[in-house]
Structure 1
Amino acid sequence: MAHLELLGIVQRYGSHTVVDGVSLTVETGSIACLLGPSGCGKTTLLRCIAGFEDIAAGEIRVQGTTVSTPGQRVPPERRQIGMVFQDYALFPHLTVAANIGFGLAGLTAEARRDRVTELLATVGLVGEGSKYPHELSGGQQQRVALARALAPNPQLILLDEPFSNLDVDLRERLSLEVRDILKSRNITAVLVTHDQHEAFAMADQVGVMAHGIIQQWDTPYRIYHQPVNRFVADFVGQGVFMPGMVLDDSHVAVELGVLASHLPLECSQGCDACGKGCGVEVLLRPDDIIHDDRSDLLAEVRHKAFRGAEILYTLRLASGVEVLSLVPSHHNHAIGESIGIRLDVDHVVAFKTPTLVFQAGAQTIQFHR
């Protein structure tokens, strides 16, 4: 069942359109994410869902009830929506327990106390209720903010960059913990973030936004492996675009060899499959290029970034094109060393290019326009 529906949402500040015709559906119990760079419109869209802002066009529905249309808006306090903010927004003069129970004024003292105790256990803060926010770590404060948002049993939870103030390790761990909490209670949620690792760790569906438009609304797996356009391909993950030539509707040649696509090769954004001889740019991720000492195909190590279990190598091919390869860190090679590589590409991602020629070993291949 659709819990949240956005139908053609437009929001403007003066003559500047910030959100431009966004439509999406979030199912009950699902976690959705709006992912994009600063200024793309994701936080404005979240504020419209919360009821903090009017909309210029479209309709917002929560569990089938219309809560926003142009000129008509149900106020935030009547939407049964919980909010978790980037800066936690805790009351510094109230204890943890008092912060969590702040929105429970309609309950008896005993019911309120029981609810706060239950939520302290849910977010892993048993015994911390008498402390004040400044006595807690950043991760603990964010748990308090989540517990406070959950306290009134909202229909929907909105999370606005909730982990951006935390260090990387804590951010990743807490995002998984929050997902578990929301899933265990079958709570529908919408997360806003610019961090793709948060998005992929938490969300069932991700909407990549740019210029007020959702470029792709899809699962994290498909966002990464089957981006619908060049912006999504560039924004999500790491990778390098390499010149290539279409051989047929399921094969493309690049300097490193011929790639087979499991899907028809759609090498232009939303257009029909390219014809034979079309020039394309093929996205190669670091996990597409495998270090293989037995391979005759060599590349020169130009840079290396040690990441503990893995090393991210920047490798220069014979043509001068540089690619990335993620290699187990026991394969520790020096800058300037030549290493064997091979391709292992499961999903061919390619887009049309104005480039006309590229080198494939000693052979120069000419593209057709």
Structure 2
Amino acid sequence: MTARTPIVRWIDQEAPTATAAASFASDLEFEAVGFKAGGKRILDEVSIWAESGQVLCLLGPSGSGKTSLLRIAAGIERPTSGRVLIGGTAVAGPEGFVPPERRGVGLMFQDFALFPHMTILDNVRFGLRPLGASHAHSAALAALERVGLRAAAADYPHTLSGGEQQRVALARALTPRPRVLLMDEPFSGLDSRLKDVIRTDTLQILRETGSTAIVVTHDAEEAMRMGDRIALLRDGRLVQAGTAHELYRRPASLFAAGFFSELNVLAGTVRGGRVECPLGTVAASPRSDGTPVKIGLRLNGLRLAVDGSGVPARVLSRRFLGSVDLLTLAVDGADRPLRARIRPSELGEGVDEIVVSVDPQEIFVFEDTDGSI
């Protein structure tokens, strides 16, 4: 991805911070950011950005550099190379560094970090003390109204559910009208039954306030639900950035494809402009004859039938998962059993011998550079 070329300015460190009366949502850009800690490279030339008013999800496994990027944006860590810009204005880079309290960013942590000895109202207005008592009080109440918790203003955090505490933390982070809101795994501590509701509520509030937000997550579905754009990281490097549709339908690597859905991975070879594998000829390829390739096939990309065209397969196991059945299949020539997800009514019970074909929309072919599967 080609980085933009912004007009670089430096924040006047005596400039006023945002107030609760106005929105200061801004772009945020990481420009070729590198970071080392303890002699280890954590980030390697990462260039991504979030547009003003959009949600950017930083996605990747543990150790991929997501939280380090967030800490660098907040000013908690300094990049060892590259720049960070907010609203086209540099806040970190070779020429200088703007401290966290002058950046106009809001932080929302995994554990919500509410003050247990303060009421809900006092928690929300904690960052509004410069506004004066009356203004801070009304702004905090308005924020609680927005998240549906005005009635709990006099309560204490321990009396609220996890989902309610999360909404208080969001209200507190947004009340000072930060230029960018930084959220580190904000839903990881919630019961799985609550996550869908809280994520939807959070996204609605972000839209209503016009906030720019950076959300760290290791959950691909969460990133797809929340993000206007997604940046997928691995080992401190940017693998791919784009919309959920772009990353899901046009993954840049087998790693990217596998991060968004379960895959069967097969070895294949290019012959006459086509990719051949144990499932037959499955895709076209511009690569030269004899090129070894890896084929990623989503579990819903296998078509199963009792007869018709396809390659023979044997059902090894079948598990009912509610809306789908999960099958394990043996196919001649495949190094390991294949897995398939089908509708429970798609294949009759007790069927062992079937034929398998593939959905070309669910196949991804990448050159095999290491010979492993």
Band of TM-score, shorter chain: 0.7 to 0.9
Equivalent position of 2:99 in the other structure? 75
Equivalent position of 1:301 in the other structure? 315
Equivalent position of 1:345 in the other structure? 360
Q: How do 1:232-251 residues align onto structure 2 when only pairs under 5 Å count?
A: 232-247=256-271, 251=274
- Of 313, 321, 339 in structure 2, the residue corresponding to residue 324 of structure 1 is 339
Within 2, Cα distance between the matches of 1:295 and 1:19? 51
**How much does 1:127 deviate?**
1.3
Q: 1:305 to 1:202 in 2, by over 3 A?
A: farther
**How much does 1:71 deviate?**
6.8
Q: What SS does structure 1 have at the residue aligned with 2:130?
A: coil
Q: What SS does structure 2 have at the residue aligned with 1:346?
A: helix
Note the alpha carbon deviations across 1:142-193, whole angstroms, 9 max, x for none: 1111110000011111110111111223223322221222122221111111
Give the aligned residue type for 1:252: V
Equivalent position of 1:147 in the other structure? 171
Within 1, Cα distance between the matches of 2:370 and 2:329? 22
Q: How do 1:183-222 residues align onto structure 2 when only pairs under 5 Å count?
A: 183-222=207-246
Q: What SS does structure 2 have at the residue aligned with 1:106?
A: helix
Within 2, Cα distance between the matches of 1:165 and 1:199? 16
Within 2, Cα distance between the matches of 1:6 and 1:151? 25
- By relative contact order (CA 8 Å, sep 6+), the higher-ranking structure is 2
Within 1, Cα distance between the matches of 2:120 and 2:355? 57
Equivalent position of 2:282 in the other structure? 259
Q: How do 1:283-302 residues align onto structure 2 when only pairs under 5 Å count?
A: 283-293=296-306, 295-297=308-310, 298-302=312-316
Indicate if the aligned counterparts of 2:279 and 2:356 stay in contact, CA closer than 8 A. no
Indicate if the aligned counterparts of 1:286 and 1:325 stay in contact, CA closer than 8 A. yes
Indicate if the aligned counterparts of 1:54 and 1:71 stay in contact, CA closer than 8 A. no
Within 2, Cα distance between the matches of 1:295 and 1:146? 55
Q: 1:276 to 1:121 in 2, by over 3 A?
A: farther
Within 1, Cα distance between the matches of 2:257 and 2:112? 32
**How much does 1:354 deviate?**
7.0
Q: 1:339 to 1:170 in 2, by over 3 A?
A: farther
**How much does 1:237 deviate?**
1.6
Equivalent position of 1:268 in the other structure? none
Count of matched residue positions in the alignment of Structure 1 and Structure 2: 345
Is residue 164 from structure 1 mapped to residue 188 from structure 2 by the alignment?
yes
Q: What SS does structure 1 have at the residue aligned with 2:76?
A: coil
Q: 1:34 to 1:335 in 2, by over 3 A?
A: farther
Indicate if the aligned counterparts of 1:301 and 1:335 stay in contact, CA closer than 8 A. no
Within 1, Cα distance between the matches of 2:95 and 2:58? 25
Q: Which stretch of structure 1 is more off in the superposition, 147-156 or 322-331? A: 322-331
Indicate if the aligned counterparts of 1:302 and 1:336 stay in contact, CA closer than 8 A. no
Note the alpha carbon deviations across 1:38-86, whole angstroms, 9 max, x for none: 1121111110000111111111100011100147221111111111100
Indicate if the aligned counterparts of 1:303 and 1:335 stay in contact, CA closer than 8 A. no
- Of 321, 325, 328 in structure 2, the residue corresponding to residue 314 of structure 1 is 328
Within 2, Cα distance between the matches of 1:335 and 1:314? 14
Q: What SS does structure 2 have at the residue aligned with 1:228?
A: coil
Within 1, Cα distance between the matches of 2:175 and 2:167? 12
Q: 1:305 to 1:70 in 2, by over 3 A?
A: farther
**Contiguous gaps of at least 5 residues in structure 1:** 266-272, 357-369
Within 2, Cα distance between the matches of 1:12 and 1:355? 28
Within 1, Cα distance between the matches of 2:354 and 2:167? 47
**Contiguous gaps of at least 5 residues in structure 2:** 1-5, 7-25
RMSD, aligned α-carbons: 2.5
Q: What SS does structure 1 have at the residue aligned with 2:361?
A: coil
Q: What SS does structure 2 have at the residue aligned with 1:53?
A: coil
Equivalent position of 1:36 in the other structure? 60
Within 2, Cα distance between the matches of 1:216 and 1:334? 41
Give the aligned residue type for 2:280: G
- Of 92, 95, 115 in structure 2, the residue corresponding to residue 91 of structure 1 is 115
Note the alpha carbon deviations across 1:237-276, whole angstroms, 9 max, x for none: 2001122233455x42333333345xxx4xxxxxxx4123
Equivalent position of 1:275 in the other structure? 288
Is residue 47 from structure 1 mapped to residue 61 from structure 2 by the alignment?
no
Q: 1:126 to 1:279 in 2, by over 3 A?
A: same
**How much does 1:339 deviate?**
4.1
**How much does 1:332 deviate?**
7.3
Indicate if the aligned counterparts of 2:32 and 2:83 stay in contact, CA closer than 8 A. yes
Q: 1:323 to 1:8 in 2, by over 3 A?
A: same
Q: Which stretch of structure 1 is more off in the superposition, 251-260 or 191-200? A: 251-260
Note the alpha carbon deviations across 1:251-306, whole angstroms, 9 max, x for none: 42333333345xxx4xxxxxxx4123422121100121134455454433334443
Indicate if the aligned counterparts of 1:289 and 1:342 stay in contact, CA closer than 8 A. yes
Q: 1:303 to 1:200 in 2, by over 3 A?
A: farther
Within 2, Cα distance between the matches of 1:220 and 1:305? 29
Note the alpha carbon deviations across 1:83-108, whole angstroms, 9 max, x for none: 11001100001111111111111224
Give the fraction of aligned pairs with identical amino acids, expressed as a percent. 36
